[in-house]
Chains A and B, each alone.
Chain A
């Protein structure tokens, strides 16, 4: 019975055609790409804050049509290789959610917060290319979005289980579906030929100790997710702290004390990603 659900769910997940995003994100990107003088960097900056658009460009650039599947894990690189015409095509064919719920918006904030936190963790751990880790953080809950679109009834049931039984979203998924969004992430990453680092980070972020090939990527996202929940920035589906795996810190050679610098960085940089929050600054010495 469980296997049947998994198989049919997988089929429905992978048959997704139309992945919608938030109206305000789409408006901003549309405005940008309509100006022919906009730089790729500027577009990359905005797209990097949206998990759906980021996923779309990464999926497209890693398609066999372009000739180098599984190689590109950076939104900036994806945009350079897709070019203006194709980017514009992706943007104009992207729709917005029919029923905008605050839960969805919360999930967007949670994801962009996780991207920020994951990048800061990578930097703190002295890893090369922290941006590469940020993308992993950004996409860690993509499976939840796809499930919301492709499996709406089940998605609703998961939400109910969260409320009624005070479960974490991941626990509720396991209870209702028999599998979690990490599994959905694995299906998507495989099907879309995303680079192996991204795939492992997306599918192993709840159990980073199980990551075999890229333990650091999985660990960084695991920590990023933990941190964004501590700050309650956005909404990952529930209002609980994520259990922290000590192996995650070990894999990155970090201690709890090292995390303090990451927490500092997160609070400071939140205004950059939020778009609505102000950051208090140290009052100036003279007026």
Chain B
């Protein structure tokens, strides 16, 4: 399940949670499949974020992926001492991020 800005909604996506008005009153039920018309209606209602079914974490944003790619990215800069420092710093950054993400997912699963 992902919360996304309405601007990224596309027809075919399914609502993971109901869309509600500011006061909590549900307008559209969970499970409803989005259509262009429905998205337009949500725009008109001033809704800006919705929760949709699906898990697509882009490779760009996945820290484990990022960490694994560093060697390839820096392959021609191995002789440069400064760039080695930079690469090490980035590796540490992404490793910590990956670990933090894993902890959060584990926590969510436990609750879910």
Q: Do chains A and B touch in the complex (CB under 8 A)?
A: yes
Q: Which residues of A contact B (CB under 8 A)?
A: 166, 168, 229-233, 239-241, 243-244, 246, 256-257, 259-260, 263, 267, 270-272, 274-283, 287
Task: Show 25 A/B contacts (Cβ-Cβ < 8 Å), sorted by A.
Answer: A229-B73, A231-B66, A232-B59, A232-B66, A232-B69, A240-B74, A240-B75, A243-B83, A244-B82, A256-B86, A256-B89, A257-B89, A259-B89, A267-B63, A271-B8, A276-B8, A277-B56, A277-B61, A278-B2, A278-B8, A278-B57, A280-B57, A280-B61, A283-B105, A283-B112
User: How many interface residues does B have (CB within 8 Å)?
Assistant: 39
| Nearest-neighbor residue (CB-CB) of B88 within chain A | A256
Residues B58 and A230 in contact, CB atoms below 8 Å apart: no
Q: Which residues of B contact A (CB under 8 A)?
A: 2-5, 8, 54-61, 63, 66, 69, 72-77, 80, 82-83, 85-87, 89-90, 93, 97, 101, 104-105, 107-108, 111-112
Known: A232-B66, A277-B56. 20 other contacts (CB 8 A): A230-B73, A232-B60, A233-B60, A239-B72, A240-B76, A240-B77, A243-B77, A243-B83, A244-B86, A256-B85, A256-B86, A257-B89, A267-B97, A277-B58, A278-B8, A279-B61, A280-B57, A281-B3, A283-B105, A287-B112
CB-defined contacts of A287 to chain B, threshold 8 Å: 112
Closest 10 CB pairs of A and B: A283-B108, A277-B58, A241-B73, A233-B60, A278-B2, A281-B3, A231-B60, A256-B89, A267-B61, A241-B74
